[in-house]
């Protein structure tokens, strides 16, 4: 590809799409050099194995005179969920530029030339990135969905098992999962997802790939199952984060879990305590949703919830998104005082004025009136990213109002807006391979 593009590059540089084996190898080498050394091979793995992702979804800028890549990004597809409604996500991943070529707008040009055009085709409801702070706000992203948040629990906070009489729950078995356990694990994962608002969808094909590779980014994990006899009562994924430079200065990291019973939670905690003792560690991280049974008991035992990190998220087309989740919004009104609501609900984001037209509790139409500043459309005003935070369940009306004076909800509709957009926990499980 040459510079005959919508967003021309500086002289001597050209856009390109990875197509050939040579270009793929150059991409792998490039990402290993500008990120961590293992990143290149991780990218190769997901290009080879991740469903719907191919080498042609990787884009670059090349220096024509020197003949090598100087900047690249890719578009990684996945499926997330909003209260059970599938959302197609296009992730902006593996973004980088050689230091000597930075501050020339190359990532911005790549984004607009390839990524933005892909989003504009209307296939994806959301776009995310796990990136550095602030930079991606220029493209409309904001930190919204929790990631890598853990309850840290010291092993001495886990009660010892009585030595005189071993409790019945210690007879529950814990062992590495096998392929025959997969259907039960998938059911447990989906049970956990059903209690969250935003979550990642794993088709069976992705489960199989993940269990074959047993890698979460550069880390190796083991999936364990908890059984009562032959029945699977729970599962969890475990990474041992041990320090090679400082033995003992590490921890066991439970990346996700779904355990049905209190007895099962107690058994898993004892298993983790014993594993720590074997490895000379004294810290356990219970990651994933803080609504999980394992994390809840970890908090009850005195564990500390970390601040964690967040996925940055952008909604490319708000009307498209609202239409997609319309069944959820209607369901939220059922068995409330608004069940038979007939009203136009206006959401003014200062740039756009969206109107949800309710008739007998059903949304008949969703309109975009553009910019409106008259009194009729000022009852609910929220900057675009603040509305996204409310819509995606990460903050309440009061929290957003306290954080930003531009977020305004008039008293007469406050209960209605709170009913339509309640605060709710989300969990993003690993969705690469």
142 by DSSP, 3-state: which?
strand
Q: Do 150-308 and 318-420 agree at the fold level?
A: no
Which residues have CB under 8 Å from 428's CB, separation 6+? 80, 145, 146, 147, 198, 199, 200, 311
Is pLDDT at 254 greater than 80 in this prediction? yes
21 close to 48: Cβ distance less than 8 angstroms:
no
Is pLDDT at 382 greater than 50 in this prediction? yes
Is pLDDT at 244 greater than 80 in this prediction? no
pLDDT digits (tens, 9 = 90+) for 130-144: 989 999 999 999 999
Mean of pLDDT over the chain: 95
Q: How far apart are the first and last CA of the chain?
A: 30
Structural domain boundaries in the chain = 13-140, 150-308, 318-420
List, edge to edge, every strand of the sheet that includes 380-381. 362-368, 353-359, 343-348, 380-381, 408-409
Q: Give phi and psi for 234, each to the nearest 5.
A: -175, 165
Query: Top-level CATH class of 13-140?
Result: alpha beta
- Rounded to an integer, the average pLDDT of 384-394 is 97
CA 168 to chain centre: 38
Indicate the angle between helix axes 182-193 and 204-213, nearest 10 degrees: 110
313 close to 127: Cβ distance less than 8 angstroms:
yes
pLDDT of the residue at 3: 45
Give the pairing of strands 304-305 and 85-97: unpaired
pLDDT digits (tens, 9 = 90+) for 292-339: 999 999 999 999 999 889 999 999 999 999 999 999 999 999 999 999
Q: Which architecture does CATH list for 150-308?
A: 3-Layer(aba) Sandwich (3.40)
pTM: 0.94
pLDDT digits (tens, 9 = 90+) for 144-161: 999 888 999 999 999 999
Which residues have CB under 8 Å from 64's CB, separation 6+? 12, 13, 14
CATH of 318-420, picked from 3.40.1570, 3.30.200, 2.60.60, 3.30.1050, is 3.30.1050
Percent over 90 (pLDDT), the chain: 91
Report d(CA 213, CA 295) in Å as an integer. 26
């Amino acid at each position: 590809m040459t510079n005959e593009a919508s967003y021309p590059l500086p002289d001597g540089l050209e856009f390109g799409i990875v197509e050939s084996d040579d270009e793929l190898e150059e991409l792998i080498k490039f990402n290993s050099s500008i990120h961590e050394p293992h990143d290149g091979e991780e990218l190769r793995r997901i290009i080879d194995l991740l469903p719907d992702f191919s080498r042609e979804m990787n884009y670059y800028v090349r220096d024509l005179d020197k003949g090598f890549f100087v900047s690249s990004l890719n578009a990684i597809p996945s499926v997330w969920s909003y209260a059970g409604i599938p959302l197609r996500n296009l992730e902006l991943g593996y973004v980088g530029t050689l230091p000597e070529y930075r501050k020339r707008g190359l990532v911005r040009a790549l984004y607009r030339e390839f990524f933005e055009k892909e989003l504009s085709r209307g296939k994806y409801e959301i776009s995310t990135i796990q990136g550095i702070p602030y930079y991606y706000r220029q493209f409309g992203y904001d930190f919204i969905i929790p990631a890598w948040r853990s309850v840290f629990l010291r092993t001495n906070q886990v009660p010892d098992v009585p030595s005189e009489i071993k409790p019945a729950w210690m007879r529950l078995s814990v062992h590495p999962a096998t392929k025959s356990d997969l259907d039960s694990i998938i059911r447990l994962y989906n049970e956990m997802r059903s209690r969250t608002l935003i979550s990642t969808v794993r088709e069976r094909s992705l489960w199989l790939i993940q269990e074959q590779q047993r890698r979460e980014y550069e880390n190796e994990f083991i999936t364990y199952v908890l059984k009562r006899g032959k029945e699977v009562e729970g599962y969890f994924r475990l990474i041992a984060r041990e320090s090679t430079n400082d033995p003992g200065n590490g921890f066991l990291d439970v990346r996700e879990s779904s355990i049905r019973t209190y007895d099962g939670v107690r058994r898993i905690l004892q298993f983790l305590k014993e594993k720590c003792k074997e490895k000379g560690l004294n810290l356990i991280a219970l990651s994933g949703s803080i609504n999980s049974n394992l994390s809840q008991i970890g908090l009850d035992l005195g564990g500390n919830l970390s601040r964690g990190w967040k996925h940055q998220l952008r909604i490319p087309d708000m009307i498209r998104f609202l239409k997609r989740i319309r069944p959820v919004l209607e369901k939220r009104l059922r068995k409330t005082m608004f069940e038979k609501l007939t009203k136009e609900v206006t959401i003014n984001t200062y740039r756009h004025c969206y109107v949800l037209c309710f008739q007998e509790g059903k949304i008949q139409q969703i309109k975009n009136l553009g910019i409106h500043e008259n009194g009729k459309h000022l009852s609910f005003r929220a900057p675009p990213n603040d509305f996204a935070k409310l819509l995606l369940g990460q903050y309440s009306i009061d929290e957003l109002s306290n954080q930003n004076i531009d977020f305004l909800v008039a008293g007469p509709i406050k209960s209605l807006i709170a009913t339509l957009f309640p605060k709710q926990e989300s969990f993003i499980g690993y969705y690469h391979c």
